[in-house]
Structure 1
């Protein structure tokens, strides 16, 4: 009896895919859930697992063919047949038999993704079928359009089945995998076929992406020579491309014998945007399309703030256990200015203006995966030390990809510090539905006219982008002037002036 291998569900609004790579050929022995091929859609890459153990039969859809949802891809035959690896073929039934004795099957479901998030993409599996897992050990990582979510094991046992391979888009109620609860199952036999299928990964704790393994094999690359950027050092397809490009960049390029074609693939790399990057792009463009955005500028002499920080930073760190930076000064100055110009801290809701009698300060932070804006709630009631601790903690969690959805919601105003990257001047884009965002920039010594004398002062340009539908020019300029005054004379913050 033969078993059909069909195209799995490709996700909402995706109706077809292209067969990118076959990892098996007719006659090869396959284990249950072993990856047979990889499909590419216009949104994600989907790996197709074997629905049963047996021998690879006819391949119906060859590489490069376009197939629809539920289309027939190949056939799996039962028995050993022409299996080139009998040991692997024997291991597959051995994995299935003990599974029945493992105890209760436990479903691994998509965890809560947060408000307004309805789907996610499976970005990485840390375990494979047959692996023993402990309760709360991380099984896989999901990527939403806002955050990455790690999925822990709900119970101890053995990973019996993976229902959503890497690249699959799942909804908030989807089942990801099945655990065989209890410790009766021996994981080694089930893991053997995967190990046999991927000898290049020997000696590593994580499995490289199949597309990466194929690319390394075709290029003759040693996996040890490729630096993985995936979870726990996993080698991804783009890592292979980077490794291949590195020697070319280091060695002097010989003069080409003939002009290269404009479409030479070796000179370009196409990488799918992450869900986070797609969301950033969409939200920023929506902001420009919706708000009547305008930017006003000013500059601030940082002499007094820098002097105050220098005088007290050691004592501050000794007492509070956190460094005194400039962000707490700017946060305090903005909170002070927002009290005087409350429309900058408000938002439009239909035909209403919603004024906020509190300040939830968003602090824009750059991460390896894109820009995120963690929110410090009730920043207007916090001390310098509390603000610095909150910024340090949120920044660390942002860089590690550990921010929750709740930590990035509810902001009323945002500060973006482009100065850390050397920016001298920019126009920040609003973070909707907020009506204002302050752009900080590089502190640069410049000649200034002070009391008829030319002196060198540490100056910073400030930029306030605001929604002109709710904030008038007078309010925007007043806001920036109040921020400038507070930073040029920090004592005003203590006196509430």
Structure 2
């Protein structure tokens, strides 16, 4: 005689259970106690074991279908046995309430081991998917289902505990960190940079200059300068001279936006940013339009030395009309320098890159210098700013013009 497979009553409040997965199909032979289906209600998941030895001769309730506890969801019998006539599911449920109640699951039972007798962890399919998606190891999740089976509620609880532990770790990290009061030079820099961003319309243009010939000229002139003036010429010195000549040609860049007026300066006071251990200072080469390449080089070195020694006078850091910031020593290429208020422009200099390039029909090794120009769009538009940057590039690529 065929044996009914009953939807169990999983908890006193359960009104309906759903077949999540059938692990067996019609025609499969099963042994009593063998897993044949996974079911779930709103709050609980469980597995149904075969109530007898035999063959699955009918599956009455398909996967995803919900029925009341006590309803017949399938039959086990002999291989060719006929399926009994099936009454209304509600009638079935009423008739089998007592049977369903005998397999009621107490979710509050003591936590059982996750290991079945064969060492395999028992976990519902839904719970397994949740754990895999969250990257949780099921070996460390305590199961509260039958025989220690892990349910979706167990995974949810494990996730909540995991989040709580992460929160505690973050809190501990915050407690372990130290807070530094923003004061002195750092406070001045912070205030000036914030003011610069808040009160200007900044835009940055990027370009590159082929400085292969410039490097050759620099090496040649350096030996002469060291011999006659005890001074080594650097690429920064040539860049500074190129900027000064470009500012003379493009006067709009040598200006400031003050009280809704554009103030163009008659003289060029060139700021050279110097990085210190605790901040940044910008000493100024006054009247740079009157200075030779050698004088600019000497002033850059003198002011940088005084900056590092902390002996710069306040007037040596005031009145700049344009600034150069060089991060090439740090391997940086293009970057976005921030305006030094109230100036209209600042030129960022990156690290020289050596790469092959076509020169006519031939491939040669060339050196390229990245340049980043940030300007105040309230003072001038992109085209004149680009023209200024183009002039700087041309002077660096035709370095003998810097000596005239």
Task: Mark yes or no: TM-score above 0.5.
Answer: yes
Task: Find the partner of 1:282 among 186, 191, 211.
Answer: 191
Report SS of the residue matched to 1:388.
helix
> Contact between 1:356 and 1:412, CA under 8 Å: does it hold in 2?
yes
Structure 1 residues 453, 300: CA separation in 2 closer, same or farther (over 3 Å shift)?
A: same
Q: How far apart, in 2, do the equivalents of 1:411 and 1:358 lie? A: 10
Aligned partner of residue 336 in structure 1, secondary structure: helix
Q: What displacement does 1:461 show?
A: 1.1
Match of 2:281 among 359, 372, 381: 372
For 1:414, the equivalent position in structure 2 comes to 323
Q: By how many angstroms is 1:364 displaced?
A: 0.3
What are the Cα deviations for residues 314-340 of structure 1, in whole angstroms up to 9, with x where unaligned?
A: 121121121111122111101111111
Give the SS at the match of 2:332.
coil
1:463-489 per-position Cα deviation (integer Å, ceiling 9, x unaligned): 110001112111111111111111111
**1:339, 1:404 → 2: CA distance?**
27
Deviation by residue 1:377-411 (Cα, 9 ceiling, x = unmatched) = 01111112211111111111111122121111000
Question: How far does residue 263 in structure 1 lie from its aligned partner after superposition?
Answer: 2.7
The answer to whether the 8 A contact 2:206-2:334 is kept is no
Alpha carbon RMSD of aligned pairs, Å? 1.7
Rounded to whole Å, the distance in 2 between the matches of 1:483 and 1:401 is 32
**Whole-Å separation in 2 of the counterparts to 1:455 and 1:263:** 57
Match of 1:353 among 262, 266, 271: 262
Q: Which has the larger radius of gyration?
A: 2
> Once the 2 structures are TM-superposed, how far is the Cα of residue 267 of structure 1 from its aligned partner?
4.1
Please tell me whether the aligned partners of residues 238 and 293 of structure 2 are also in contact (alpha carbons under 8 angstroms). yes
C-alpha distance in 1 between matches for 2:402 and 2:330: 28
Q: Distance in 1 between matches of 2:274 and 2:296?
A: 15
2:358 is aligned with 1:449: yes
Matches within 5 A, 1:183-198: none
Match of 2:391 in 1: 482
Deviations 1:68-102 (A, max 9, x none): xxxxxxxxxxxxxxxxxxxxxxxxxxxxxxxxxxx
Query: What's the secondary structure of 2:169's corresponding residue?
Result: coil
Q: Give yes or no for contact 1:331–1:379 (8 Å, CA) kept in 2.
A: no
Q: Secondary structure at the match of 1:492?
A: helix
1:448, distance to aligned residue in structure 2 (A): 2.2
Matches within 5 A, 1:40-439: 261-264=169-172, 267-439=176-348
Contact 1:440–1:462 (CA under 8 A) maintained in structure 2: yes
Q: Relative contact order (alpha carbons < 8 A, sep ≥ 6): 1 or 2 greater?
A: 2
After TM superposition, the score normalised by the length of structure 1 is 0.46
Question: Is the Cα–Cα contact under 8 Å of residues 348 and 354 in structure 1 kept in the other structure?
Answer: yes
Instruction: Flag structure 2 segments of 5+ consecutive residues without an equivalent.
Output: 1-164
Task: State the aligned residue count.
Answer: 238
- What is the CA–CA distance in structure 2 between the aligned matches of 1:483 and 1:452, rounded to whole Å? 27
> Normalization by structure 2: what TM-score?
0.57
Alpha-carbon distance in structure 2 between the residues aligned to 1:461 and 1:327: 13
Gaps of 5+ in 1: 1-257
Partner of 2:87: none
Task: Describe the SS at the equivalent of 1:403.
Answer: coil
